[in-house]
Homo-oligomer: A and B are copies of this chain.
Amino acid sequence: MHNGHVPEPRETRRRPGRRPTINDVAAAAGVSRGTVSRVLNGGHDVSDAAQEAVERAMRKTGYVVNQHARSLVTQRSQSVAFILSEPQERLFEDPNFNVLLHSCTQALAKQDITLLLTLASSLEDRKRLGRYLTGGHVDGALLVSTHSGNPLIPELLARGLPVVACGKPLGYERQAAYVAADDRDGARQMVSYLLSSGRRRIATITGPLDTSGGVERLAGYREALGGQPELVAHGDYTRASGEAAMLQLLERAPDLDAIFVASDLMAAGAMTALHRAGRRVPVDVAVGGFDDSQIATTTQPLLTTVRQSYPRIGAEMVRLLLSQIDGESPAAVIIPTELVIRESA
Contacts and interface: CB of A to CB of B under 8 A. Distances in A.
Interface of A: 17, 19, 64-69, 71-72, 77, 79, 88-89, 91-93, 95, 97-98, 101-102, 105, 109, 112, 114-119, 124-125, 128-129, 131-132, 134-137, 159-160
27 contacts: A19-B136, A64-B135, A64-B159, A65-B135, A67-B132, A67-B135, A67-B137, A68-B71, A68-B77, A68-B137, A79-B132, A79-B137, A88-B98, A88-B102, A89-B98, A91-B92, A92-B92, A92-B93, A92-B98, A105-B119, A109-B125, A109-B128, A114-B129, A114-B132, A116-B116, A117-B118, A117-B119
Given A68-B136, A68-B137, 19 more contacts: A19-B136, A64-B134, A64-B135, A67-B68, A67-B132, A67-B135, A68-B69, A68-B72, A68-B77, A79-B132, A88-B98, A88-B102, A91-B92, A91-B98, A92-B95, A92-B98, A109-B125, A109-B128, A114-B132
Contacts of A65: 135
A92 B69 CA distance: 36
Nearest to A294: B89
Given A66-B136, A72-B68, A72-B69, A109 B92 contact: no
Contacts of A136: 19, 66-68
Nearest to A158: B62
A224 to B, nearest CB: 33
B128 A112 contact: yes
A160 B119 CA distance: 27
B92 A97 contact: yes
A137 B113 CA distance: 13
